[in-house]
Each structure stands twice: as C-alpha cells, then as structure tokens.
Amino acid sequence: MNKATSAWVNGFIGMLIFSGSLPATRAAVIDLDPLFVTCARACIAGILGFALLGLSRQRRPDRQDFASLVLTILGVVVGFPLFTALALQHISSAHSLVYMGLLPVSTALFGVIRGGERPRATFWLFAVLGSVFVVGYAASGVFRASMQGDLLMLAAIVVCGLGYAEGASLSRKLGGWQVISWALVLSLPLTLPLTLLTMPDSFAGVGTPAWIGLMYVSVFSMLVGFIFWYRGLAQGGIAAVGQLQLLQPFFGLGLAALFLHETVSWAMLVVTLCTVVCVAGAKRYA
C-alpha cells in the first residue's frame, strides 16, 4: 500500500471510530454528569496511554514539543469532550452530528495556520461548500432547538480543529499514537483528581447504555481513533485527509438512529449526503 492510500485508509478508520463519539457521549450523559464523563474518559485513556508508552519504552518529547502537546490537550483532551458533553444535555446526538460538517474547515484552517500547509484554491471551494450545506441547515430552524447547545457545539468544533492540526503536525516527528498518549498522560495530574471530585456519590441509577457510552469514548474516541487519525493526517496532509470528517455525520446519524432510537429527519440526511459529495472534490484538489 503506497503512502497516499495508507493515509486515506488510516484517516477513514479514524473517522469511522470518531463517528460513534457523539452518540456514545449522549448515552453517557443521560445518567452521568458531563464534567465526570469529560474527566473520566481522559483519565481512563491516559492510564492506557501511560501503559502503552511504558511497555514500548518511548522516549520523552523534547522541550520544544510541549507547547504543541498543551494545545493538543486543550483541543481534543479537554475542550472538545467538555463542550460536546455540555451541548448534548440540550440537543440530541443526531442534531449535534450535523455540526461535525464544519470540522473539516476548522481543521484545514488550523492546518494552514499551525501546520504550514497551502491547499489549492479549488480545495477551499469544495471545503467551504460542504460547510455551507451544514450552516444552511442550521439557519433553517435548528437554532430554535437550543441556542446554548448550538453555541457549545460551535465552540467544540473550533477547539477540536486546533487539536487535530496541532497533534497531526507533531505526529510527523513523534508518531500518531505517541502524540495522543503523551497528551493524555500529561493531562493525568488534572484529569485524575477531577474524575474523583466529580464522581457521583452513587452509581446505582446509572444504566448499562451509559457505561457502554463511557467506555467507548474512553477507549476508542480518546485513544484508538487517534492512532489511525493522526497517522492519516500526518501522511496525507491535515487539510486533505481532514475532509473525511464530512463523512462522519453520515455514519453518526445512522448510529444515533440504530442505538439511541433518535429521529433522523430527511433534512439531516440531505445535508449530510450533500457534504459527502464535497469530499471527492476536496480530495482531488487538495
């Protein structure tokens, strides 16, 4: 498998894993506090990352790498999980998944700012067009559902784009799974005590779906998905491979309907399918 093909395969696997994140988070916050879910998922993944780094005897990052690791932590370890967990108290996971169509543009912009990439002008046409479909859907009435939930999702998209681009740039030096593992380990002094502080007094009322959701976002969304995602971004380019995120709502909506029995409207499907068309164009001209 050549490098270009490998990049898109790794990116697709990462995107597929991430597509279950919002439905799983929604299942978790039904019975668990969003702050506990945010801290616990990072704490569990951090312990696993610590074990991986120790068993493979990875060298420590250089001093100049820590600024990028801090931005990665703020983006994907703390910011995105927290904002989405708070948002999903006010909106459904199907609703929130539509906003994921904005993530490729956010990632591409930070790829230019932080990663030094220079996509062609035609690429931006397809990238922006995909996001226009999403924004158009939001403007057509979705804001009537919960302004607070929508603003939290927009904040999540911005910080996640930063975390993706920063982590992918550093992955070219350290490796994909090493970057996310170090980010999670460095955040443990914060996430471990906060997990204990936000832990509910009793877990008696927590249902099985909430536990499954927490385990999914802890193991797959916070660690396994990034192993493939950062590798794909580093191999194929942050802006280019990042456009695969336009497919994420399509898979996420299906999971939300299948496991959470949420309503998926025709408008949601049309918007998602239109954004899928833009992936091909963005890939071709990146």
**Per-residue pLDDT at 194 exceeds 90:** yes
Query: How far are the Cα atoms of 133, 245, 252, 263, 269 from residue 266, in angstroms, in the given order?
Result: 14, 20, 15, 10, 5
Place of tokens 């397809």: 126
User: Mean pLDDT highest for which of 214-218, 235-239, 266-270?
Assistant: 214-218
Q: What is the pTM (predicted TM-score) of this model?
A: 0.81
Q: Give the up-direction half-sphere exposure of residue 259: CA atoms within 13 A in the CB hemisphere.
A: 23
Report the number of secondary-structure helices (H) and strands (E) in the chain: 15, 0
pLDDT band of 279, cuts 50, 70, 90: low
| CA–CA separation, 133 and 131 (whole Å) | 5
The domain limits of the chain are 3-285
| pLDDT, tens digit, 9 for 90 and up, residues 67-112 | 989 999 999 888 888 898 888 888 776 677 677 777 888 888 887 7
pLDDT tens readout for residues 133-145: 766 765 565 445 5
- pLDDT tens figures, 58-70: 888 888 889 989 9
pLDDT averaged over every residue in the chain:
82
What value does the mean pLDDT take over residues 225-245? 85
